[in-house]
């Protein structure tokens, strides 16, 4: 079993930046792609970004390409999401996810509790 704990959410003005972090604990061996989903009020949960176990493969949602950057520190079992040029439509609860397999259409096996990101206009 894998536990995921997010941090770094908060309130920021449009055009600003935030960095989310997610630490994984529990099972620390074997492949584990990590990434982020988000859910805005009244909307379905949507994929944001995913990074493979080695960090050599990355996928982004079209809506965040060029603005968000995902990275990981395997030694710390931690994944990061750097969010620049934030827009009000980025407001959502952001969930850290873990997946036993890296795919372009991820179906996570593990979910964090979520962290709120609010972008004011």
Residue 6 makes CB contacts below 8 A (sequence gap 6+) with 20, 21, 22, 94, 95, 96, 112, 113, 114, 115
Q: Is the CB of residue 112 less than 8 Å from the CB of residue 95?
A: yes
> Which of 23-27, 43-47, 88-92, 107-111 has the lowest average pLDDT?
23-27
With 80 as the cut, is the pLDDT of residue 28 above it? no
Q: Provide φ and ψ at 103, rounded to 5°.
A: -140, 165
pLDDT at 10 (0 to 100) = 97
pLDDT at 43 (0 to 100) = 96
């Amino acid at each position: 079993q894998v536990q995921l704990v997010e941090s770094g959410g908060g309130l920021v003005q449009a055009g600003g930046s935030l960095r989310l972090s997610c630490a994984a604990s529990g099972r620390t061996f074997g492949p584990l792609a990590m990434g982020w989903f988000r859910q805005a009020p009244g909307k379905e949960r949507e994929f944001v970004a995913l990074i493979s176990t080695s960090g050599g493969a990355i996928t982004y949602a079209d809506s965040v390409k060029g603005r968000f950057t995902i990275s990981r520190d395997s030694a710390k079992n931690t994944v990061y999401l750097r969010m620049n040029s934030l827009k009000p439509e980025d407001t959502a609860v952001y969930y850290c996810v873990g997946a036993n397999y890296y795919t372009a259409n991820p179906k996570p096996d593990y979910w964090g509790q979520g962290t709120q990101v609010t972008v004011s206009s």
